[in-house]
Amino acid sequence: MRTTRLPLLTPTLLCFMSLALQTAQAEPAPHLLKPDLVVPLWQGEPPLFQRDAPAEIFDPRGKFTNVTRPEIALFLPDPEKNTGMAIIVCAGGGYGSLDWKTHVIYAADVFNPKGVAIIGLKYRTRPPFKGTNSEIQALTLLDAQRAVRLVRHRAKEWKINPQQIGIAGYSAGGNLAMNLAANFDTGNPDATDPIDRESSRPDFAIGLATWHWRQKVSPFEFSKNAPPVFLVHATNDGIKGGAPIELPREIAADLQKLNVPVKMAVFDVGAHGVGNLIPQRVKHGFPPAKWPDLFLDWYQSLPAK
């Protein structure tokens, strides 16, 4: 029997409930449309907060836009199945929106039965942020770093292993996941905020159709201490938009030179939606939709830390 902690009815949760009602009328909904808990990354205003922004929108298709207050949404497995692993998921959308339903909720629907917690990261978007490409990357990196610190800080409370916290991202979310894998720190032991004392290093990183404004050259500068990386890509991505396969291949080559564990799962179908765990794809055995098992098998085969 699944037990859940009843969350406060924040604006985000009200949006989820609204979507649940709409979806129930139109199609069979995933069993985890509503999160167990929604937590802001910062109490009060986040760093570099934009006060003049329009209201956040969560549309009927399950996408967030105009995000200015980053949060995490927890989708937790049944206690008897819990493995302690948690994946912070960054939805895609070109840094302009977050395809929450397709990337976060569908991931929870697949991973929760495997005993893995899915934690959706609602990171900030452009618009309303008005900066350059590099500036939106820097802004969202703050959100991703803080998300890892927060989950690690509250891991015991949420029945998560603090050494099994990874990050995954689709498209622009994959860009953010790789950015974090290349730019983490061990925390500030002198910080007044105990969350900031935690390491922001993810224990693994997953890039799904990893994107960098359609470029083929990797901008990421990894270190030998980078976490293990699992990449999922399609050979037919980047032909009509999307992300050329040369980008993840270069990421993999860079990590191999540093002796960082890396695995690349390549498919000839799926294009830029290769990693999407759409229920019909999962049900009918669409080859790219098997990446969760491929990842878990690979990650569990790595030498113990």
Rounded Cα–Cα distance for residues 298 and 155 (Å):
24
Which of 137, 130, 198, 127 shows the shortest CA–CA distance to 169? Answer: 137
For the stretch 69-119, pLDDT in tens is 999 999 999 999 999 999 999 999 999 999 999 999 999 999 999 999 999
For the stretch 119-161, pLDDT in tens is 999 999 999 999 999 999 999 999 999 999 999 999 999 999 9
Confidence at 304, pLDDT banded by 50, 70, 90: confident
Rounded Cα–Cα distance for residues 69 and 101 (Å):
19
CB count, 10 Å around CB of 155?
19
- Per domain, the residue ranges of the chain are 11-301
Confidence at 18, pLDDT banded by 50, 70, 90: very low
User: At 26, phi and psi to the nearest 5?
Assistant: -105, -35
253 CB-near residues (< 8 Å, 6+ apart): none
The CATH number of 11-301, from 3.20.20.80, 3.40.50.1820, 3.90.226.10, 3.40.50.12160, is 3.40.50.1820
Question: Is the peptide bond between 202 and the residue preceding it cis, with omega within 30 degrees of 0?
Answer: no
266 CB-near residues (< 8 Å, 6+ apart): 233, 234, 235, 245
Q: Where are the alpha helices (DSSP H) in the chain?
A: 11-26, 100, 106-111, 133-153, 172-182, 246-257, 279-283, 291-301
Please report where in the chains the tokens 């989708």 appear, as a residue: 75
Please report where in the chains the tokens 């070109």 appear, as a residue: 94
